[in-house]
Chain A
Amino acid sequence: MKNYKFKFWHYGLIVTLAAAVLITYNLQADDKSFFLSGEVTHGHHQIEMACSTCHGDGFAGQEFIQNACVGCHQDELIQANDSHPRSKFLDPRNAGLLAHLDARQCISCHTEHKPEITHEMGVSLAGDFCFHCHSDIAENRPNHSGLGFETCASAGCHNYHDNRYLYEEFLASHIDSPALIPGGQLPMKSLVLKWHAENRDGTALSATDADFPADTTGSQLAVPVASATQAWSNSAHALSGTNCTACHQSGETGLEAAVVVENCGDCHSRQLAQFTRGKHGMRLSADLPQSRPMNVQEAKLPMHPHAIELAKELSCTSCHNPHDLDTRVASVEACLGCHNDTHSVAYQESEHFRLWNDQRSGGVSCANCHMPREEHQGEILVNHNQNHNLRPNEKMLPVCLNCHGVEFAVAALADKALIENNFSAPPAIEHKTFEMIRERIARIKTTQ
């Protein structure tokens, strides 16, 4: 053995075997990071290691990927009245257009793992992509003559998918509303009121009704349990007859994130479905192969050092204290406990915050904008997907329009500096769109 001479190919074999073991381990038992061909977009970074969600077994074709896109995003596209649905491009008369841009496939425009060519909204095409199909727009709309095609979707005028609040009639019908609507306020949430109306007999519980298992209260948990019971007894859970064991089924404490969302989802299924569509909760979606909560450390946005240090996992109770259920805490304090970007930090200097803090009309919390109150079958409910109305940000218009005129709101949402400083001043200039709308209204009036 002493005299055995290693030859070059021996080293080659050892290196190859070692690499093969490492790669196989990474694929089978570790996080598959060796197989990540490039950074994914902001929308998918939470689930970038759930490879099979989009790629199946790794050999699944384009159809599988397309179905994966549709599987997660279809409901939202339907809700947005998608202006360019796949179905529009299935007519053979579009064959010539599809040769330039195959709009039937999501990944034609949203190529993943290509950070070097990915722009806002996860679009991986050059900014003037509208040109491919709308090159003759100035013939039909002379006032569009001279406008660059890179401005169509970047100036707050049009979006590819969602134009619910940007179409002409909508803007025209709201055009004369003042910058600040007198007495404007957000719609009132109706869930708790409705519950009380339907449960007049009352099933309210008090602190003495708490059914937290007694065998753990004698231990060092006694004080926390007592304070939690006190907080609970004044909460909507106690009022609605939801006792301790509804969540602490066997008296366990320190519940894991996946258990928390499951427990909460038993009663709040709508909120859970929305939460697992947003970036806070998408990792806990039942549609993913494994359930691993999002951690503050892994966030792409700037976070507070102490939140990073705590490696706080995100679940329902990250924002909602499970015992007192104070929604005012959940709608500002909880957000600012983690988020440390310029927009978030500037919020507490804004008029929105000042009025909210004074509990006056016109006050707006973080959640009021990012988790909008929406009408659903006559009820006003909070959408728990905090990314729902963020991109494109014109989706936030229905919230803004409760208190502001459409011209003011569109101009504000198109002003990046104003967003950065959290709307510390009115928007500086009027939006060009409205000049065009006014010309248009005048033309309609003269032709009638």
Chain B
Amino acid sequence: MRSLISIVISAALLSGCGEKSGIAPERMANAIFAVIEADRASYTNYVVNRLANEEKVIKAEEHWKDSKALPLPAQMMRMGAERVAEQESGFNYALLSQWAINKQNKPRTELEQQGLEFINENPGENFYGTETLGDTEYFTAIYPDVAVSPACVSCHNEHVDSPRTDFEIGDTMGGVVIRFPL
């Protein structure tokens, strides 16, 4: 009996040696969000808000190519998300909102709906969960997307298609959704 127990314990230890110690999905998602958020806030504050709203040297518009203007911060982020998706980097991210101007960016999955409601009702907190899309299970993290400059609130409050027009700086306007296949 003692030798049987020794064999079982040894086998368990040896099998443990073979496992790779990776980074937990939540920690990885937090790190990625930190990069996305930092780039987004920098672009919004130091490029768009400075040049378009303060110094008024160039506009930021949806059809920025035609009007030789700056891309809107949300467009800039989506361009990055599409490039990441094309590179098949092992994760995806998106900017969604319950009050999206483009309705394609409203929550589509149950977890997205649940997560966006959670971060709106619990300022400063993130939301984590798992969901199955197609035939793949995903770890999904949702982070609050907070209005960091007057450019954010003025654009969303004034846009004719905006379903909400009372945003203020500091409000959660939507969420950044990061997904990893499990």
Judge whether A64 is part of the interface by a CB distance below 8 angstroms.
Answer: no
Given A91-B94, A447-B160, A448-B158, A170 and B63 contact (CB-CB distance below 8 Å): yes
- The answer to whether B134 and A167 have CB atoms under 8 Å apart is no
How many interface contacts (CB-CB < 8 Å) are there between A and B?
A: 53
Given A81-B65, A93-B109, A169-B62, A87 and B92 contact (CB-CB distance below 8 Å): no
Q: Which of B63, B82, B83, B108 contacts A96 (CB 8 A)?
A: B108
Given A95-B133, A98-B134, A140-B103, A87 and B160 contact (CB-CB distance below 8 Å): no
Judge whether A5 is part of the interface by a CB distance below 8 angstroms.
Answer: no
Those of B66-124 within 8 Å (CB) of chain A: 66, 81-83, 85-86, 92, 94, 103, 108-109, 112
Interface size grouping (class) on chain B: 20 to 34
- The answer to whether B92 and A99 have CB atoms under 8 Å apart is no
CA distance in complex: A443, B85 (Å) = 37
CA distance in complex: A134, B103 (Å) = 10
Contacts of A440 in B (CB 8 A): 160
Judge whether A90 is part of the interface by a CB distance below 8 angstroms.
Answer: yes
CA distance in complex: A88, B84 (Å) = 11
Question: A26 CB to closest chain B CB, in angstroms?
Answer: 40
Judge whether A13 is part of the interface by a CB distance below 8 angstroms.
Answer: no
Judge whether A278 is part of the interface by a CB distance below 8 angstroms.
Answer: no
Contacts of B160 in A (CB 8 A): 440, 443-444, 447
- The answer to whether A92 and B82 have CB atoms under 8 Å apart is no
Question: B180 CB to closest chain A CB, in angstroms?
Answer: 10
Judge whether B21 is part of the interface by a CB distance below 8 angstroms.
Answer: no
- The answer to whether A169 and B179 have CB atoms under 8 Å apart is no
Determine the residue in chain A with the shortest Cβ distance to B66.
A170
Those of B144-166 within 8 Å (CB) of chain A: 158, 160-161
Contacts of A448 in B (CB 8 A): 158
Given A92-B179, A95-B133, A443-B160, A87 and B85 contact (CB-CB distance below 8 Å): yes
- The answer to whether B83 and A92 have CB atoms under 8 Å apart is no
Judge whether B138 is part of the interface by a CB distance below 8 angstroms.
Answer: yes
CA distance in complex: A92, B132 (Å) = 10
- The answer to whether B65 and A91 have CB atoms under 8 Å apart is no
Contacts of B65 in A (CB 8 A): 81
Interface of B is mostly: mixed
Question: A158 CB to closest chain B CB, in angstroms?
Answer: 14
- The answer to whether A92 and B81 have CB atoms under 8 Å apart is no
CA distance in complex: A96, B135 (Å) = 10
Determine the residue in chain A with the shortest Cβ distance to B83.
A87
CA distance in complex: A90, B92 (Å) = 8
Question: B167 CB to closest chain A CB, in angstroms?
Answer: 15
Those of A126-153 within 8 Å (CB) of chain B: 136, 140
Judge whether A85 is part of the interface by a CB distance below 8 angstroms.
Answer: yes
- The answer to whether A91 and B81 have CB atoms under 8 Å apart is yes
Given A96-B108, A99-B134, A90 and B94 contact (CB-CB distance below 8 Å): no
- The answer to whether A87 and B86 have CB atoms under 8 Å apart is yes
- The answer to whether A167 and B112 have CB atoms under 8 Å apart is no
Judge whether B15 is part of the interface by a CB distance below 8 angstroms.
Answer: no
Q: Which of A91, A92, A170 contacts B136 (CB 8 A)?
A: A92
Contacts of A140 in B (CB 8 A): 103, 161
Question: B5 CB to closest chain A CB, in angstroms?
Answer: 45
CA distance in complex: A96, B132 (Å) = 11
CA distance in complex: A170, B65 (Å) = 12
Determine the residue in chain B with the shortest Cβ distance to A165.
B66
Q: Which of A94, A99, A167, A443 has the most CB of B within 10 A?
A: A94
Contacts of B136 in A (CB 8 A): 92, 95
Question: B93 CB to closest chain A CB, in angstroms?
Answer: 8
Determine the residue in chain B with the shortest Cβ distance to A140.
B103
- The answer to whether B85 and A91 have CB atoms under 8 Å apart is yes
CA distance in complex: A170, B66 (Å) = 9
Question: B136 CB to closest chain A CB, in angstroms?
Answer: 7
Determine the residue in chain B with the shortest Cβ distance to A85.
B82
Determine the residue in chain B with the shortest Cβ distance to A445.
B160
Given A92-B179, A447-B160, A169 and B63 contact (CB-CB distance below 8 Å): yes
Given A93-B94, A93-B133, A96-B108, A88 and B63 contact (CB-CB distance below 8 Å): no
CA distance in complex: A136, B103 (Å) = 10
CA distance in complex: A169, B177 (Å) = 30
CA distance in complex: A193, B140 (Å) = 60
CA distance in complex: A443, B162 (Å) = 13
Contacts of B161 in A (CB 8 A): 140
Contacts of A88 in B (CB 8 A): 82
- The answer to whether B134 and A93 have CB atoms under 8 Å apart is no
CA distance in complex: A444, B108 (Å) = 28
Interface string of A376-401 (1 = CB under 8 A from B): 00000000000000000000000000
CA distance in complex: A85, B79 (Å) = 11
What are 13 sample pairs from A and B whose C-beta atoms fall under 8 A apart?
A: A86-B86, A87-B83, A90-B82, A90-B85, A92-B92, A92-B134, A92-B179, A92-B181, A93-B109, A95-B133, A96-B134, A99-B134, A448-B158
7 more CB-based (< 8 A) A-B contacts, given A86-B86, A90-B85? A87-B82, A91-B92, A92-B179, A93-B109, A96-B108, A169-B62, A447-B160
Top 4 closest pairs, chain A to chain B, by CB: A95-B134, A90-B85, A87-B82, A95-B133
